[in-house]
Structure 1
Amino acid sequence: LMSGKPVSAVSIAGHVQQVFSHVKIENLVAGLSGGVVSTLVLHPLDLVKIRFAVSDGLELRPKYSGILHCMKSVWQQEGLRGLYQGVTPNIWGAGASWGLYFFFYNAFKGYTKEGRQTELSATEHLSLHLENVFDLILTLPILVLTLGILTLTLTNPIWVTKTRLVLQYNADPGSKQYKGMIDALVKIYRHEGVPGLYKGFVPGLFGTSHGALQFMAYEELKRGYNKYRKVPSDAKLSALEYITMAALSKIFAVATTYPYQVVRARLQDQHNTYNGVLDVIRRTWRNEGVIGFYKGIIPNVIRVTPACCITFVVYENLSRYLLGQDQ
């Protein structure tokens, strides 16, 4: 299609078969494991980030002077359980997101590199998620739900329940309407229908670029570093080297895309009502200015950098072990 030539059903089937020939369940298991481990360790910071992101001046919201004050207040009022509100959907969501992302990312990566003698460049790593994925979507409709869009479609209801659970404040007993993840899913569906479960989906679509930017930076850092060491681009690195590259790539992606997380959290918040993405943007800009779109970014950076490092280290080592490449 991109070249102006029609694509036959046989050609599409051939491309699909080629892509799925690179699918490895080991990548799914390794990515899922990394996401679960990092979530269990760092969920309290995710709670802090969301509470800051939605801080729009409503009286019912607790007032926090900083990250430590927020964590201390929640701990004093509700203990460890309070700091881990929403951890169940977070584990499901993060595990599924990382697992599916690594699963499909490596399949597309293998497909793109098939038959090539040279390494993918930085722009090719990015286009693997954007331009080449767009081209695949045009020529291979069966793959339209892969990568970020597929992951978001599957996990958006989980993220909505996580946000709702995280924003159940102890000072407002009336808001304690959800007993857990399943209870939240059922009640949101019953009272708000499918649209309620997909609040924040549109800004989430913009968030798919986050993964593209992160993986582009991560792969390019690994490639450049191994080239500097004069070893194969897929040579195994040390845990510290994986951590450094994962941290740098994550900070780059977060700094570039953070505002979408504020917009998404506010749309999913049960304490305020917005008439869509544009309404969130307009009201946030009018009442809080540019800074409103970056509320919570500090706890987010503090959280996602080690979270990403943990995820990538677990993924790289576990996937190598499962694939028999640990040497």
Structure 2
Amino acid sequence: MTMASEVFSYESLVHAVSGAVGSVTAMTVFFPLDTARLRLQVDENRKAKSTPAILAEIIKEEGLLAPYRGWFPVICSLCCSNFIYFYCFHCLKASWQKGNQSTPRTDLITGIAAGIVNVLVTTPLWVVNTRLKLQGSNFRNADIRPTNYSGILDAFVQIIRDEGVGALWNGTFPSLLLVLNPAIQFMIYEGLKRQLRKGVPRELSSLEVFLIGAVAKAVATSVTYPLQTIQSVLRFGQYNMSTEKSKLLSGLRAVKCLLLNRARRYGMLGLFKGLEAKLLQTVLTAALMFLLYEKIASCTFRLAKHFTTQDT
């Protein structure tokens, strides 16, 4: 009964909605930076330049709205993904801690568990939005095959028909490894929050939340970036996967081959191609997301407390 009340708790729902709204707003503001990052990761023949130069190039070749191509499917995926992640994270945290103060270790384990659930549920959405976001792009790599999807549902139908249902989970293995990214991010974020509140329980200022959100995401992104590149390549569907019966072995081999090939062709720095654009986008997005998340959750809880007090 206690576990059920934690899973279906009002607090978990507030955290989930606040996280989803915060992430959607932040991603919308910084979406062009993500476009630049994805283009650098997938189009191997595109030279790595500064983020403004890449965006200027895309606008010149493909039009003013090109940096926002694929915005709607990305926002849908992000909203679902963050709702599930925040909900699972706070449910698990409440049920495992049982009122005790969290530690970096419990935050990391909770983050990994929430990330695994999130990956298994939302990977098909991310595969589709990666395809839609890159559709119609001017690639430097002539080997990339053009696609023609009219929208989210059409992309689902075509992928299932032409590549099989399993293609919707392309990149799942690196995605499962990448649950370390939000887990590390939340571990650092929660740890820094505890440090700032040490001795004096208080609500953090907007600047403090923004800065610790930025630091947490910068560390998590830098550590896991090579795997994020491989994840993007696999989701794009242009890499010929092994036909082995074992999906785990096939996924391991694909990740290993892509990492080695990229390192061989471009050196170790090739594994970090697009990192500048990714850091700029992801750090600013995460910082703004955490700021909005904390403010929305705090405001909701205050309002609920106010109305509860009035009723009594």
1:216 match: 187
1:171-205 deviations in Å (ceiling 9; x for gaps)? 47972512332222221122111121111110000
Q: Which residue of 2 aligns with 1:249?
A: 216
Name 1:314's counterpart in structure 2.
Answer: 292
Matched pairs, number = 289
Letter in 1 for 2:273: K
TM-score by length of 1: 0.81
> Which sections of structure 1, spanning at least 5 residues, go unmatched?
1-13, 134-146
2:106 counterpart residue number: 124
* Percent of matched pairs sharing the same residue: 28
Matched, 1:98 2:82: yes
Cα distance, 1:151 vs. partner? 1.1
Equivalent residues of 2:3, 2:95 under 8 A apart: no
Q: Is the 8 A contact 2:48 2:274 kept in 1?
A: no
User: 1: CA distance between counterparts of 2:20 and 2:155?
Assistant: 23
Matches within 5 A, 1:222-301: 222-227=193-198, 230-232=199-201, 235-275=202-242, 276-301=254-279
Residue aligning to 1:186: 157
- 1:20 aligns with 7
- Please report the TM-score for the alignment, with normalisation by the length of structure 2: 0.84
Gaps of 5+ in 2: 243-253, 307-312
Describe the shift of the 1:193–1:219 C-alpha distance in structure 2 as closer, same or farther (beyond 3 A). same
Residue 162 of structure 1 is matched in structure 2 by: 129
Q: How far is the alpha carbon of 1:254 from its aligned partner?
A: 0.8
Residues 309 and 115 of structure 1: is their aligned pair in 2 closer, same or farther, counting only changes over 3 Å?
closer
Residue 50 (structure 1) aligned with residue 38 (structure 2): yes
Residue 36 of structure 1: CA displacement?
0.8
Tell me, in whole angstroms, the C-alpha distance in 1 between the residues paired with 2:262 and 2:158.
28
The residue type paired with residue 4 of structure 2 is Q
Cα deviation, residue 108, structure 1:
1.7
Q: Quick check: 266-275 or 237-246, which moved more? A: 266-275
Let me know the Cα RMSD of the aligned residues: 2.4
2:280 to 302, 305, 315: 302
Contact 1:274 1:280 in 2 (8 A): no
Report the CA distance between 1:290 and its aligned residue.
1.5
Identify the residue that residue 245 of structure 2 maps to in structure 1. none
Tell me if 1:197 matches 2:168. Answer: yes
